[in-house]
Amino acid sequence: MSSEQIGLDLWPREHDLPPRWDGLAVQWGDWRPPLEVFVCPPPRAPQCCTRCGDTRPPAMNVGRIWTDPATAPPAISRARLLAGRQLVGVMTAFRCPHCGHDTVLGPDGELWDLDATDYTDDGSWNNAVDKR
């Protein structure tokens, strides 16, 4: 019997959520438990996780997208800056309570399913658009 332990990578992600969105820094808040909302009349088909099909409401996290001071054009006024950054947009992440799959409602209103590549230091990029 060997004295070496087997290491298990229980959370293989570099970050809990993408640190960047299309190259811009994202500042995420804390995860919030799902809200109990009753819609009348109820939807015909309940919303469910795109990965596992769980119909329980997801946890939610709000992120703010900031300019990168090194590459951003000069701000219009000092009042719009916060520590040399300018707010570009707001996005919301949703996490399935069963399987942990994340989806993000981007600043443009599109819903994105995240994969392992989105949790790296480079963050999430629209792979259909060339990164420049």
**pTM for this model (two decimals):** 0.76
User: Would you say residue 24 lies in a domain?
Assistant: yes
pLDDT at position 131: 46
Residue 13 pLDDT class (50, 70, 90 cuts): confident
Full residue range of the structural domain in which residue 111 is found: 20-34+47-119
User: Would you say residue 132 lies in a domain?
Assistant: no
User: Would you say residue 125 lies in a domain?
Assistant: no
User: Would you say residue 4 lies in a domain?
Assistant: no
Q: How many domains does the chain have?
A: 1
pLDDT tens-digit series, residues 51-98: 999 999 999 999 999 886 666 666 555 555 556 677 889 999 999 999
User: Would you say residue 70 lies in a domain?
Assistant: yes
User: Would you say residue 29 lies in a domain?
Assistant: yes
User: Would you say residue 11 lies in a domain?
Assistant: no
Q: Is 40 exposed, middle or buried (0-12, 13-18, 19+ CB in 10 A)?
A: exposed
